[in-house]
Each structure stands twice: as C-alpha cells, then as structure tokens.
Structure 1
C-alpha cells in the first residue's frame, strides 16, 4: 500500500488539526512542515516527527511530497496553491479556497491542465447528521425543497480581531461570511442545489474592522424553492450553527451536532454518530477536532489514487466564494436581487 507523502505549509492552530488527522491515516505520512516562524516550525516538526523549514519552496521541491496542505492565512491560499500546482503537487486548501472567484478559477484551470487533484476543506459535509440529511433530500424522502434556513450566529471579541493584523481585513480575511460562514454556505449549496438569484445585506455592527460582521441573504433556487442565510460574529455569547430544511413532505432541523426535529414520512430517525467533542466554534474558533478533517483527507487520498473527483471539488469551493461576492454586490445595490452567474 502506497503511503502518500504530505507537506504542510502554515503552522497556525488549524495546522494541528490537519496534522493530527494525517498522522492517524495508514495511507499517509507527514514528510515536512513549513512556517515563517522558526520556533513554530521546529516545535511542530518535533510533535509530528517530521522535517521542518521556514522556506515553503522546499516543500514544493521535495520529491517525497505528493500532497500539499495549505493552512496559511486566507489571503495567501490562492497564490501558494498555484505555486504548489505548478510544482506538480496535489493540493488540499483550508477554507476558503481563495479570496475571489477569479483566483479560484485560475486554480481549477491549472489543476485540470496539470491533471492534479484540487480540493478545499469542507469537513462539515462529513458530519454523520449532515450526511443523513443529504441522503434524505437526494432520495426525495422529504419531497420538493421549499425552504432551507441556514444560520451561523457566532461571537468573536474585538481582541480576537486585534491579535492578528490580517483579521477583519477584506484582502486577507473576508469577514463573517468568508471566514466563519463559509462552511454553512458550502452546506447550503451542497444540500439545496443551484442558485438562481441572491438578495443580500452586510454590515459591520459591533467590531472595529474593515470587513462585515453580519451577512444576510435570501436566495431563490433553480428548483423553485428558497433559502435564507445569516452569518455573524456579533451574537453574544456565540451559538451552534443550524440548518432547517422544509420539504413539501417533511422537515428536518439541525442545531450543531444534534438533529432536533425529524418529520420524514415512513422513516423513523435512524441512530447516528453524535460527536460532542467536535465543538461548534460558536465562541471559540479552536473548538474543533480532527475527526472529520480525517474523513475528508481519506476521501482526498482515494480521489488521487483512483483518479476521480474528490467529494469536495474546487468548483464547489468557487461556488461558495461566488455566492459571497454576490451577497456583497446585492448589498451595495441596496439589497436588490442579483442573478447567480
């Protein structure tokens, strides 16, 4: 069995989640990590018994490395991913995939040209209750989708934004929608299908920063249904994300790791894994574990091995970015609907 060599660029808090996941996968081995800070790179390498460097180009040049995980700040995802693809590496990028749809498209096109696999971390798709909800929708068990309500009422203190100069900036962070809301947005698109038009509003209400701390949207879906979206970092003290799905035959509601309502004709609520250790990051962005990153990384390895599309494609990452861009565009136009194109 081939052991795929992994290199990781960026040794912040989310890097530990990736490295813990990779270290528990039989088909994977951690070859090297890179950080701009020597001490952080060295400490990380000691923890995971791998090489380290402060020059990530050494990762890109290392022939033992097949797959590069990019866990740097959001603003550098696109640039480093392009360099990794040019170097012939398969690439898994932490969310968001990039800071714009143009940047994401360039990554997708290059990956196709080089016949390499590109994916973005959307580990919440792998939560058992989200998988169950997806299956109920696809099998038509709750009927035609009438409305999907998605909410991410998080809380971040001003000190959270102040402790890193990139946080809250448009160029490097992207605000409540792109940073915190991206997982809920990915789930909405994964569950609800294609979007026809978007009406959105954004505001900065409780923080001193450049980007929004509140984003709202009403979506008209191509299937004739609707969706609503709310993402914020101003909801004291911070709450779990929620998804409510209403079909013309039934309803399923989810809050955090719990299915809180189940009306599915003829199908009782199945037993499902409820991993309370995963956290919801509503008040603490570090309150996550590696379980579902591991599931996605295993899928990614299988997609590389079998030369198939990963469960989360680069195109899916781009669609989430596009929706956020259109929410901002609509807001700038007073909340008037704009087509999703």
Structure 2
C-alpha cells in the first residue's frame, strides 16, 4: 500500500472539498500540484493544503496548463473540478497519459463522451471514478444495505426532491453556469446527485423518461426548474422535482423510497439526515439517532471516503465504488429528460446520443 500523488485541476467552488479529502486521507495521499487557468486560484488551493497540513515547506507545484503539469510532476491521480463541459476532454487526456481520474459530476455532457471516458480508462488500465459523494452518507449506506437485504420488499416508487435557491449572484460569479455547452441547468447541476441515488436504490434499468422544464427567473440558457417521470424496467416509477428558484433560500434535498415492506425518507442539507425509517419490528427513533451526522454544506462529507475508496481501488486493482459505468446512468436520465423537453415526447431507452449542447437553438 503506497501513498499516491494527487493533482487538482480546476480550483473553483468545489475544490476545497478536494483539498479536504486529501488532507483527511494524508496517510495514503499527497497533493503535489494544483492547476487552474486562473493561476491565483491554483496558488490559493496549494496554500490551503499546506495550511491544513500545518507544513508550509511542502512542495506543491502550481500550474496554469494541466498538460504542462502532467509532464513535469510525478502524479498518480488527477482530480478534475473544472466547468462540466471540460470534464471529458481533460479526463481523457489524463487517462491517456496513464493517470487515474476522479472527476466531479456530471462526468460529461454527452453520452458519447461518457462512453469514451469509460473505454479510455479500460484501454489504459486506469481507474475512473465520479464524485457522487452522497453515496457514502451513513443514512444512504443504511438504506442501500436494507435494499440489498430485500427488507423493503418490492420497490414501487421513489422520489427525489431538490428544492434550492440559486440567485443572480450565483450565476454572475461564473458566466459558464447555466449554459448548455458547459453546465446545463438545474437537473444537470443541482439535481444529478439525488437522481443518481434514486436510480441506484430502485436498482433497475430505465425504460423511458418524460420531462417538463422551464426557466422562470434566472438569466440562464438552461432550466431553473425541471420535473421528470422515470419508468424503470422493473415496474417502479421515479419522480424528480428539481428547483433552483425556491423563495427565499434552500428548502430541502430529499430522497424517498417506498417498498411493499418499508418506507424510508432521507433529507437534510445533503441527504444526510434520516427522516423516516419504517419497518415492521424496528425502532425508528433509535435508528435515526445512530445515524446522526453534522455537515457544513450541501457538499456533505462524502469526498473523503470517496477519495479513500479510489486509493484502495488502485492499490487493490478493483473497480471504484462509484465508477464511470455507475455515473453514466444518472447522466443518461438527465440527457433523456432534455431530449424529452425538446421533443415534447417520452424518450425510450436505449436512445441515441444526445448532448446538453443539442438544446441550443439552431
């Protein structure tokens, strides 16, 4: 078991969680380089890491060009936290250079790009993991265990509600947000984590998707509200309600799963709080108490175990807990929702490649 050298590409809003994840895994991971087209952001992340490590003598390279960084630094794993529209291009380049990759969600903006990422990882015998970090939340793990033990009986339906607020300032901070080429809308950016959890718990291939979306108050190309109905091949129905226009602030992020033998609702700031745990003969209040976890943001605390899992996957030569094959499923649901919005019709699976950019007016 050797320590692995990490580099961060993209040092904006979410990157502090990458620094945190590396610091909290310091026994197996080292940050050796940071990179951002705004080099001052890369410098800030290098400084942040040194401060967390309480060691200003650490040698953390700072770069503006990730290709130069890969040539000059001894790197095992790259974490990518750039604008979503650049994820695939950067990940593919890094994997072709023999680097393992952790990429923020969404893994790509098209199904073809996502499939290429998966194939390039296989070709180069490197690990590809996607930061669906909420899979590691304790209540989510508890629900997953119950499903694997078939305690819920037949899962009939599930709902994912993401009722948040993103105002003009959020979009003005980074003009790429809300664009079809680099971001997508609320479904792609804010809702993909909960959509991932919903389909993971239902545990079935998707049969078809229908969606209605609109842009109500934010000055963006893509949607700030979206609703999706998902029919799964096992007969279950999933419902997604995703909003970035809740007045005046974030309200909830909730996952609800309904089976013939059990009902589970997980909410809180980042689907981290068990709200309902109803099974015959189980003490609901005791289970809730056992799973209490304090978090400080909607990003939760899942990056730390996710990073640890990737290190272990590399050393044990196994698939990461959240692989590219896992992450392409919620991406496909959202792209199908966008296609449904554009055509006004349900989209049957499998469907031909579709990208966020296809939503742009021709």
Normalised by the shorter chain, which TM-score bucket? over 0.9
Question: Conserved in 2, the CA contact under 8 Å of 1:129 and 1:258?
Answer: yes
CA drift of 1:317 comes to 1.5
CA distance in structure 2 between the aligned counterparts of 1:111 and 1:275, rounded to whole angstroms: 34
The correspondence for 2:225, drawn from 202, 208, 214, is 214
Instruction: Could you tell me which runs of 5 or more consecutive residues in structure 1 were left unpaired when the two chains were aligned.
Output: 281-287
| Residue of structure 1 equivalent to 2:33 | 32
Instruction: Could you tell me which runs of 5 or more consecutive residues in structure 2 were left unpaired when the two chains were aligned.
Output: 51-59, 351-362
CA distance 1:164–1:279, change in 2 (3 Å): closer
Question: Conserved in 2, the CA contact under 8 Å of 1:142 and 1:247?
Answer: yes
Question: Conserved in 1, the CA contact under 8 Å of 2:136 and 2:305?
Answer: yes
Question: Conserved in 1, the CA contact under 8 Å of 2:2 and 2:315?
Answer: no
The correspondence for 1:168, drawn from 178, 194, 208, is 178
CA drift of 1:218 comes to 1.0
CA distance in structure 2 between the aligned counterparts of 1:110 and 1:66, rounded to whole angstroms: 16
Is 1:9 matched with 2:46?
no
| Residue of structure 2 equivalent to 1:297 | 307
| CA displacement, residues 104-129 of structure 1 (integer Å, 9 cap, x when unaligned) | 11111111111110011001000000
Matching of residues 304-315 of structure 1 within 5 Å: 304-315=314-325
TM-score, L = length of structure 2: 0.88
Is 1:108 matched with 2:88?
no
Counterpart secondary structure, 1:170:
coil
Is 1:249 matched with 2:261?
yes
Higher mean displacement: 34-43 or 164-173: 34-43
CA distance in structure 1 between the aligned counterparts of 2:236 and 2:328, rounded to whole angstroms: 22
Counterpart secondary structure, 1:277:
coil
Question: Once superposed, what is the RMSD of the aligned Cα atoms?
Answer: 1.4
CA distance in structure 1 between the aligned counterparts of 2:306 and 2:173, rounded to whole angstroms: 30
Is 1:143 matched with 2:158?
no
| Residue of structure 2 equivalent to 1:283 | none
Counterpart secondary structure, 2:292:
coil
The correspondence for 1:229, drawn from 230, 240, 264, is 240
The correspondence for 1:324, drawn from 324, 329, 334, is 334
CA drift of 1:64 comes to 1.8
| Residue of structure 2 equivalent to 1:274 | 292
CA distance in structure 2 between the aligned counterparts of 1:163 and 1:43, rounded to whole angstroms: 17
| Residue of structure 2 equivalent to 1:284 | none
Question: Conserved in 2, the CA contact under 8 Å of 1:142 and 1:265?
Answer: no
The correspondence for 2:75, drawn from 65, 71, 74, is 65
CA distance in structure 2 between the aligned counterparts of 1:247 and 1:81, rounded to whole angstroms: 38
CA distance 1:332–1:190, change in 2 (3 Å): same
CA drift of 1:159 comes to 2.0
| CA displacement, residues 67-121 of structure 1 (integer Å, 9 cap, x when unaligned) | 0000111111111001101111000001110111111111111111111100110
Higher mean displacement: 270-279 or 115-124: 270-279
CA distance in structure 2 between the aligned counterparts of 1:300 and 1:18, rounded to whole angstroms: 13
CA distance in structure 2 between the aligned counterparts of 1:30 and 1:104, rounded to whole angstroms: 27
CA distance 1:278–1:189, change in 2 (3 Å): farther
Is 1:182 matched with 2:197?
no
Counterpart secondary structure, 2:145:
helix
Is 1:51 matched with 2:61?
yes
Question: Conserved in 2, the CA contact under 8 Å of 1:141 and 1:265?
Answer: no
CA distance in structure 2 between the aligned counterparts of 1:260 and 1:182, rounded to whole angstroms: 21
Counterpart secondary structure, 2:318:
coil
Counterpart secondary structure, 1:242:
strand
Is 1:200 matched with 2:211?
yes
Counterpart secondary structure, 1:130:
helix
Report the count of equivalent residues.
332
Is 1:337 matched with 2:355?
no
CA drift of 1:333 comes to 2.7
CA drift of 1:62 comes to 4.0
